[in-house]
Chain A
């Protein structure tokens, strides 16, 4: 029996529009990679518009880490390379030919593989970027040997998809992926499951890994929380992490020799008519799933969850690390005396709105910030939603004044911007905390490299 780690501090924000457990095929023609999904990546193109590609054909590589290739998730041809200001590459769009042919990277018997073989195959096929590291949440460095690898079997964020469904029937691929991962670390592969949510045998009967059980409110599914409880990260140490769905991709690579980025994406949110799951491949266009499926009004489309996701256009693409699209109303309206009105339908962790009397109420929340930016005043509120042995307010202030020693001392290596998402939500002063934390992490990365 595994140890149960109980997370006490946190907050489950209950939203309308959870996905029903029905899966349909998404007939998406367009797929894209967004370099911005990869922290610190500086893309150098390897293809031109019009080039024929197969799944696994490199589209670009990282200028600063040229061993890392980013490959096409499907076969077809390069339709567009969308650029922004200063010709920055925003999206590389591939039009699928529907055949899903992959380059052949060769089948292999994982048990007989050495670490270098696993690394090489993953780098070459473009599967490697699914592995990320802490600190900094950048793509893992192939020369590092992490002290452990963490796999989350659940997501605790609002409207999060059900990982059990993602893996249903893919036990063999999942196990193969885990076996490959065990080759990469000097320590253990940790599979972190939820006490109530994780029910499937694909997770619970996984072998060659240590299964740890978590319970409690969000962020109990965040990898930083798992690391902090199981094997805390110290200065100079590195751990890697990967999402459960991406383990399947790794498994398929070794079982079949193909880059098969098949995955499921959940469409959720209060403004979706039929929230459900879609079968597709990495980086799929959301156009088809949103067609005739969203309500009227000015809407915000988010790749990922409402806490950490990124805004995309109505014809945008699912992010590389996201398995979840959320649609909520935009909040660009004025509200007369809104700070004074009772507010029965307003969500707040403070009990200054009567809605706290209905703890199970599900909310339709919009993107309004509900107030102007102010100096930090309320204290103790972050600590209610921040389950780390770290002082959040002090760390945020250390980042703001760019005190590198203090940031290090206060534990910046152990956290990621997503861990501060709830602090940002509940902050009375409306500070852009995740942005601050990201800037702090970027600063540390530059200073330490």
Chain B
């Protein structure tokens, strides 16, 4: 390691001010800090600092996604061979899945990180690690057969217009991964919705409808068993199908304290309340499905665990988090059942609440301010 460090120390001046490659300073810095935690010591304030930094924070989220990613990769293969009437061994499924999923990951990271580096360079800032998570999320929420150029355009749109125009990581209003998905969804609906896209290279004779698609048209008898939906042996976006493996990720996020349990729990609570309300109403067969089935269909669990909890775009106050999460779950199920156009409502629901999160925080903070003013008035009148 010493040789590597020596090499970096030797190269560093070239990238610093006055050096030949100063324009690439952010890029050099990104690689240097990837290899070595910097030697910066506390200059002001507290003399000791928590060992966690943004890299580890973000990396923990990636680790939490890995179970869903591995299962999703396998499932891409499994669903493909199933649609062809074949059952093959684990390795064959995974290999097929990798052939579909790896390019998605490579394109997502390549395009996204490229733009991030460029913007960091222009701003003379260090490269933020936010996209490490977004870049992994995006492949998990698109269908396996999505044309790569469409993915690339979606990612570019999300990073530039969803994030960088707001000032970069930490300043964005909308979840970048969902912005990418929404862009692709509306720009290329043929590849992002319907019954045909959720299984890779599916023969036309095989019905590839997702449980949500079936449920929306009232076709409840074709729903897979709850067991299959929970463990994820169903068609869908790459990483969203297995509630079980998503929950494993949730446990990692909550144990490490990286994601907010308040948001996660509230999303499920909101979905449950809306589901129960529909059960009471019972105007059609879809309304009558047990509320918990919403959790194991489509992207509900994935949205609740990985999307709604994005600390930048969610509410930032403790009380706000409960309201924000609850409304996401509530509106997601509402869209699913009432809206005839889209079978899935989680993406739109989270994006909608992203827009409202600052307003929720504003209300919560205002109540704190009012409380303080009231106390002051009481003290004056005493």
Contact = CB atoms under 8 A, between A and B. Distances in A.
B368 A328 contact: no
B51 A346 contact: yes
A427 B50 contact: yes
A332 B39 contact: yes
Interface stretch (A50-58, A167-175, A388-396): A388-396
B46 A348 contact: no
Query: In this complex, which of A15, A336, A371, A417 has the most chain B Cβ atoms within 10 angstroms of its Cβ?
Result: A371
Contacts of B371: 389
Given A237-B379, A393-B316, A435 B169 contact: no
Contacts of A369: 38, 40-42, 49
Nearest to A300: B47
B250 to A, nearest CB: 14
A13 B48 contact: yes
Contacts of B47: 300, 302, 306-307, 309, 311, 326, 328, 367
Nearest to B315: A379
B277 to A, nearest CB: 29
B119 to A, nearest CB: 13
Contact of A432 (B35, B45, B361, B368): B45
Contacts of A112: none
A340 B50 contact: no
A377 B44 contact: no
B40 A352 contact: no
B40 A391 contact: no
Query: In this complex, which of A235, A311, A350, A427 has the most chain B Cβ atoms within 10 angstroms of its Cβ?
Result: A350
B170 A377 contact: yes
Interface in B362-382: 365, 368-369, 371-373, 375-376, 379-380
Nearest to A338: B37
Nearest to B377: A234
B375 to A, nearest CB: 6
A351 interface: yes
Contacts of B284: none
Contacts of A430: 49, 53
A232 interface: yes
B42 A351 contact: no
Contact of B41 (A158, A349, A367, A378): A367
B258 A350 contact: yes
A333 B39 contact: yes
Query: In this complex, which of B41, B43, B46, B371 has the most chain A Cβ atoms within 10 angstroms of its Cβ?
Result: B46
A347 to B, nearest CB: 6
Interface stretch (A27-35, A258-266, A418-426): A418-426
Given A235-B376, A237-B379, A348-B51, A374 B37 contact: no
A432 B43 CA distance: 9
Given A375-B171, A377-B130, A380-B318, A348 B52 contact: yes
B41 A343 contact: no
Interface string B294-332: 000000000000000001101011100100000000000
A374 B54 contact: yes
B56 A377 contact: no
B46 A336 contact: no
Contacts, number: 218
Contacts of A358: none
A341 to B, nearest CB: 9
A366 interface: yes
A300 B51 CA distance: 18
A351 B51 CA distance: 11
Contact of A339 (B59, B169, B257, B368): B59
B50 A368 contact: no
B48 A366 contact: yes
Contacts of B35: 336-337
Interface in A301-348: 302, 306-309, 311, 326, 328, 330-340, 343, 346-348
Given A410-B368, A430-B49, A371 B39 contact: no
Given A350-B256, A379-B316, A430-B53, A370 B170 contact: no
A379 B314 CA distance: 9
B309 to A, nearest CB: 10
Contact of A372 (B33, B51, B255): B33
Nearest to A378: B311
Contacts of A371: 33, 37-38, 52-55
A415 interface: no
B362 to A, nearest CB: 10
Contact of A435 (B5, B44, B49, B59): B44
B169 A375 contact: yes
A334 B52 contact: no
Interface string B252-276: 0001111010100000000000000
Nearest to A426: B50
Nearest to B376: A234
A378 B312 CA distance: 7
A335 B41 CA distance: 13
A210 interface: no
Given A340-B56, A428-B52, A370 B169 contact: no
Nearest to B311: A379
Given A335-B37, A352-B60, A374-B170, A390 B45 contact: no
A42 interface: no
A417 B45 CA distance: 9
A349 B51 CA distance: 9
B288 interface: no
25 contacts: A158-B48, A234-B372, A236-B376, A307-B48, A331-B42, A332-B41, A336-B35, A339-B59, A348-B50, A352-B52, A352-B256, A353-B52, A367-B41, A367-B42, A368-B37, A368-B42, A374-B129, A379-B316, A380-B321, A410-B368, A421-B46, A425-B49, A425-B50, A428-B53, A435-B45
The 6 A-B residue pairs whose C-beta atoms are closest, nearest first, are A371-B53, A375-B170, A338-B37, A434-B45, A346-B51, A234-B376
Interface of A: 13, 15, 158, 232, 234-237, 300, 302, 306-309, 311, 326, 328, 330-340, 343, 346-353, 365-381, 383, 389-391, 393-394, 409-411, 417, 421-422, 424-430, 432-435
